[in-house]
Amino acid sequence: MADRHVDHLLIGGGIASATCAQALREGGAAGSILLVGRELDPPYHRPPITKGYLGGGESRDDAAIAVGDDVEVLTRTSVMALDPAARTATLSTKDTVSYDTALLATGAMVRRLPVDGGQLEGIHYLRALGNADALRRDVDGAERVLCVGGSYIGCEVAATLTTLGKRCTVVLQEEEPLERGFGLQVGAWVRSVLESHGVEVVSGVEVERFEADDERVARVVLAGGRTLPADVVVCGVGAMPDVMLARKAGLEIGPAGGVRADAQLRALGADGLFVAGDMCEYDSAVHGRVVRIEHEEVAAAHGRTAARNMLGAGADHVEVPYFWSDLADWATLEYVGPAEGWDEEVVEGDLAAGAFAVWYRREGHVVAMLSAGGHGDLDRARALIASGEALI
């Protein structure tokens, strides 16, 4: 017997759940909505953690996401167990909640770098606002910051902390920053943007270990023996879907490590349960394959589709995934896709000047488009990706 019943239970306190709550109300849901999140804060945007919030230009309030007064939000509360067949969830408060429909949106956790010295003081990972607070306190007295990882977290942190007067180095396995998502020519341009603002980029290398002076990180040793000094280290080496609860509940986990959902974002084999955000691995009607994507706008879009379907729409998720990244005020990138692979890059505009679009095509079909400096038509790209048309 459950302690209480809600019409809609939203598990996870991130943007996917928050957007779902908003969309449920906008879609006419009159019943009770309970959002359960284990963080200290109610839902907030994570992108400012590496950008405005870290740089000091944005506050906690700026990052907050309003869910509406008529949505009950429990913070510092975990869902410990989920029984999809009985449609009940057990909270860390020991209460059992039954539901008519539920959203599972437990997000992702940082991947830790498994090297010697990885636990030293002065080594940071960024996922929550509190991590940015800790990094800000630590960099105050620091001169040299070393960012491990050439993806958007490492590049954005290096850009933001450079604007705060720190000497930043980005160390990456790949040849160029952001190369994995956008290819070598865009990667070379990103490197030039970083370097022209004083960021050192050390590429094609592996971190072997961290070394300390007085228990605090002091240097990074790379494979091959090169040593780089560091007062503070920030690791941005990927995230893993948080599927602990889902796994315990017996839900199917996909090859990309997320919870499997169909094209309508329904958890496979669990009536009334929907999946959204970073941990959602769904049959994409747009891509014709199973995808899992870790972008804020995608999580929000999932939340909207899930809400519609919780209200009975029976609609496929058809929004083309969108991603953006800011390197301080030096460059803004926007991207629709994602391309699983491509055999042709067509550049429009002036790559060297930072006002360009790159169209990624596979076998003649547009599979993604990257826009820098506001160049290029993202809506056209969305339409071409969704339709599978060949022309640009």
Ligand X SMILES: Cc1cc2nc3c(=O)[nH]c(=O)nc-3n(C[C@H](O)[C@H](O)[C@H](O)COP(=O)(O)OP(=O)(O)OC[C@H]3O[C@@H](n4cnc5c(N)ncnc54)[C@H](O)[C@@H]3O)c2cc1C
Residues that bind ligand X (CB under 6 A): 11-16, 36-39, 46-47, 49-50, 78-79, 105-108, 126-127, 153, 242, 245, 277-278, 294-297, 299, 323-325
What is the C-alpha to C-alpha distance for residues 187 and 203, in angstroms, rounded to an integer? 11
Q: Please identify which residue in the block is written with the tokens 């490590």.
A: 257
Least distance in Å: CB of 127 to ligand X? 5
Nearer CB in complex with ligand X: 146/300: 300
Question: Rg for the chain (alpha carbons), in Å?
Answer: 22
| Cα angle, residue 161 at apex, residues 155 and 167 outer, rounded to 5° | 95
Least distance in Å: CB of 218 to ligand X? 25
Measured between alpha carbons, how far is residue 379 from residues 55, 252, 293, 332, 368 in Å? Answer: 31, 34, 20, 17, 12
Strand ranges across the sheet with 227-229: 207-213, 216-222, 227-229
Q: How many helices (H) and strands (E) does the chain have?
A: 10, 25
Least distance in Å: CB of 45 to ligand X? 7
Least distance in Å: CB of 131 to ligand X? 8
Least distance in Å: CB of 331 to ligand X? 13
Nearer CB in complex with ligand X: 304/361: 304
Nearest to 194 by CA among 228, 160, 148, 236: 160
Nearest to 103 by CA among 8, 215, 13: 8
Nearest to 104 by CA among 263, 256, 270: 270
Least distance in Å: CB of 285 to ligand X? 20
SS3 content of the chain, % helix, strand, coil (to 5): 25, 35, 40
Nearer CB in complex with ligand X: 62/344: 62
Nearest to 376 by CA among 389, 361, 354, 155: 354
Nearer CB in complex with ligand X: 37/177: 37
Least distance in Å: CB of 238 to ligand X? 11
Least distance in Å: CB of 215 to ligand X? 26
Least distance in Å: CB of 314 to ligand X? 23
What is the C-alpha to C-alpha distance for residues 348 and 246, in angstroms, rounded to an integer? 44
Nearer CB in complex with ligand X: 108/148: 108
Nearer CB in complex with ligand X: 46/304: 46
Nearer CB in complex with ligand X: 91/171: 91
Nearer CB in complex with ligand X: 63/218: 63
Which 3 state secondary structure label does DSSP give 229? strand
Nearest to 41 by CA among 132, 117, 112, 114: 132
Residue 68 tokens read as: 């509406």
Residue 349 tokens read as: 């505009």
Nearer CB in complex with ligand X: 78/264: 78
